[in-house]
Structure formats: structure tokens, C-alpha cells
Amino acid sequence: MRSQKSKLTLRFIALLGLLISGSGCVTFSHHAIPADRLPPELRFCEKGCRVPVNLALLTQTPPRSYVIGPGDVLAVYIRGLLPPNVDDPAPVVQGNTTVQQEYYPPAGNVATPSIGVPLQVTDDGSLALPVIGSIIVSGLTVQQAVDKISTAIINKEVVQKGREYVYVSVVRRRVTRVVVVREEVQTPAPTIQARTASIIAKRGSAQVVDLPAFEEDVLHALTASGGMPGSDALNEVWILRREQLGDQSAEEVVALAVDGADPVDYVANSPAAATAKRIPLWTRDGESPSFTQEDVLLEEGDIVYLRARQQEVFFTGGLIIGSEIPLPRDHDIDVLEAVAIANASVGGPNGASGQLFRAGSGVGNIIPPTRAVILRKMPNGQQVAIRVDLIRAMKDPSQRIVIQPGDFINLYFKPGEQLVNSALNYVNVNLPILFD
């Protein structure tokens, strides 16, 4: 009986030696760079060093008093001249009640009521008035326009000085028509999904927006079309200028958006996309934004483009079930968080070990594995292996390596953990035999 037990013990010791000395993962992990010795150039802090851009930089500061420009519709009343008959009552310009009640109705908001005859400021910035002719009003405030018209009718001797009465108001502000193309899921309510779920973006959402004067900027365009980019879109805004697109292409994009067609492929494949101005919605802490106020101002025919985020993922393997897991868009995750997202156990007993580790992973896993090896592809095509001690990572920040897109996280047993698990697994299986 003792002879049989001795044979079993020898077999057990031989098996343990074989497992430890012949384990490829142990040998491989010893050649990896320890996390605390990683050179600074391999320690990436991309998203964690970002701060949201000040939203005030995405808009413009409007003047205290409205400044008239080409395309404005003004209500003008000049007593005794406009309307021409003295006895005619001052007309009332009614607002257009047929437009959709949106924040930015098509063609702009109409102020109502306002007395006077509606006149549109021409492309050269002038108003055509009877008797006194054309008067340049572009660049003037309403009060300055009143003063200029009053001076003109006095100089023309239309009325005596002191008896002039001129009234001017803005009936409809000029608008800048742009197209906002969004490659993201458009839902009226927030969507909750698992952190390991893949991101699926809806393509082809487009909207034509008429932005009033002094609101023709990126922030107002985003506000009118659904708000800031969702998590499935890049956290930046592309602006394709009309002069880069060409008049014909710009009109085709507008036509596609109005018809409800999909303009995304047309915009993404346009030569103007390669030269589009990109406005990031984040900046590195302590750095100035890489755009100016002129960059966020929009002009007639411009396209505001929110691009879908390319899938940024990391991979798991080794003792963890192989998975492809998306990375968050706006914040970094380190190796501990990545292992937790992959549903593996760190530093504690495995309550559901059969679900956490891949089938046929080797010895029993009563003691969890605490060695991770991160395989990282470098820009020059080479591969770097980084060794992380998950137990030390709980106390030592230098071990908490930030995960980058494309990283491959392999989870292994340390030799001691492998030895203990093998012993416990062997004793659990052969205890009745040894003490029979």
C-alpha cells in the first residue's frame, strides 16, 4: 500500500515539475518588460490627459445691438413718404404662421407685429427707398439706420427738420443655411448597453438648418440638430467649406438631406473631406485649443460633419475567455479595469470559475491568476510585451498600465500559483486514493 502511495507521490512531483518547467506562458512572461520599468515613451496617457473644451469657444459673441446685413428684412415707415399716401395708416407686417414651430424655423423667425413696409436689404447692403434712392445700411445698428434715413430725407427736403418721423425694425433676420450630417444613433432617449457591447452607428442622418445672424456657428448648429456627439461618434466636428466642395456638390448634399436620402457616403468620399477643418471637443490639460473663432463660424453651404467612431478595441486571451472588447471614447482604462470588464477575477477567489476561464485552461483555478502580459503593437510594426503583477497593481500605480487600442491582454498563473493550484487540484482528486 505504501509503495502505491509513494508511486503516486512521485508521479505528482514529476507532474508539478513538468508543469512549472515546461510552461510556455511562464517562460514567455519572464521575457516581458516589467510594468514599473516601462520607458516613459511607452506609457500613454491619451484620454486621461484630456479636458472638455470650453463650449464658449464653439460660438461667437453677438453684438449688444443688432447689426444689419444683406438678407435682413426690415420694416420701414417714413411719415409722408413710405407708404406714399399721407392718409394711409401704417401697415402691419404679420409674422409667417405656416412655418414649423422649431427652434430654428426654415428661412428664420419672423417678428410680429411691426409697423412699416417690408424691405429686404440687398446683396450690396442697401435699401431702395422712394425719392431718396438707395441707402447703404449694412453694418449699421437699427438706430444708426434711422438716423441715416432721417438725415437723407432732410437733405432731400422731403420734410422739414424736426418734423421727420422714421421707424425701422427687423422683421426677419438673415439666415445662413448649413447641412449637419451625423453618423451616429439618433434616439430620443438615452440608450444603456453593456460595457462590452459593440457600438453600432446609424448612418445617413442629415438635417438642413437655417442659422440666424450671429448664431451661425458650430455650437448652434449642433444644438439645433441633436446636441453634442454621442459616444458612437468621434468627439470632434468636421467642417467642409462650400468653396472646397464646389457649388454643385454643396447643392447636391442639400438636396439629399431634404429628400431624406443618405448623404454620408457622398460627404465622406468627397475630396473636401481630406481638407476639412477638424475641431476637437477636447484639449490636453494646460494646452490651448487648436482652432480659432474664425474656424467655428459657418458660411452659406457649409457642411458640419460628425463622423462615426472607428471601433477601438482590446483583446483578451490566455486564461481569460477570448474576447474583443470596445474601449471607452472619453476616458482611459488601465489593466485592472480591463481585466474586470472582461469578467475575470483579480486578487480574490473565483466564484464562477467555469464561466471566467476558457475551457481546458489547465490546472484548477482555486487561486486566481495574477500575472498579465500585455502585447502592444508599436507604430514601427514591432511588438512589445509588458508584464504586470495584478496584486502589486492594486497598491502600486506604476503597475496600472493604460490600455491602448489593439492591446492583447493575456492572463497567466505565476509559478507559485500554478504549483498551489496543481497541489490542491491533485489532493482534491486523489485524496480518497491516498488515504484508502
> In 35-106, which ranges are continuous DSSP H helix?
none
Give domain 2-49+312-434's CATH number out of 3.40.1030.10, 3.40.50.1260, 3.30.2130.10, 3.10.560.10.
3.10.560.10
85 contacts 162 by C-beta, under 8 angstroms: no
Residue 27 confidence (pLDDT): 46
Instruction: List, as one string, the DSSP characters of 123-172.
Output: TTSEEEETTTEEEE-TT-BHHHHHHHHHHHHHHTTSS-TT---EEEEEEE
Q: One-letter amino acid identity for 394?
A: M
Residue 12 confidence (pLDDT): 57
Residue 82 confidence (pLDDT): 83
> In 350-414, which ranges are continuous DSSP H helix?
353-356, 390-393
Residue 97 confidence (pLDDT): 42
The length of the chain, given as a count of residues? 436
303-306 and 175-182 as β-strands: parallel, antiparallel, unpaired? parallel
| Crossing angle of the two packed helices 2-21 and 415-434, in degrees rounded to 10 | 160
How many Å separate Cα 284 from the centre of its chain?
15
408-412 and 313-318 as β-strands: parallel, antiparallel, unpaired? parallel
Residue 248 confidence (pLDDT): 66
Sequence spans of domains, the chain: 2-49+312-434, 73-172, 175-306
Just give the CATH number of 73-172.
3.30.1950
Helix, strand, or coil (residue 272): helix
What's the DSSP call for residue 230? Answer: -
Q: How far apart are CA 95 and CA 97, in angstroms?
A: 6
Domains 2-49+312-434 and 73-172 share a fold: no
Residue 382 confidence (pLDDT): 85
**Could you read off the pLDDT tens digit of each residue along the chain, which spans 436 residues?**
556 555 556 555 555 555 554 444 554 555 677 777 777 666 665 565 678 889 999 999 999 999 999 999 999 998 878 876 655 555 555 544 433 445 677 777 776 656 788 899 999 999 999 888 899 999 999 999 999 999 998 888 777 777 788 899 998 999 999 989 888 766 555 554 555 555 555 555 788 899 999 999 999 999 988 888 887 888 889 898 888 777 667 677 776 666 666 566 667 777 777 778 889 988 877 778 888 989 999 999 898 988 887 778 899 988 888 888 888 888 888 899 898 888 765 554 443 343 444 444 444 556 778 888 999 888 788 888 989 998 888 888 888 888 988 899 998 888 777 677 666 666 655 444 444 4
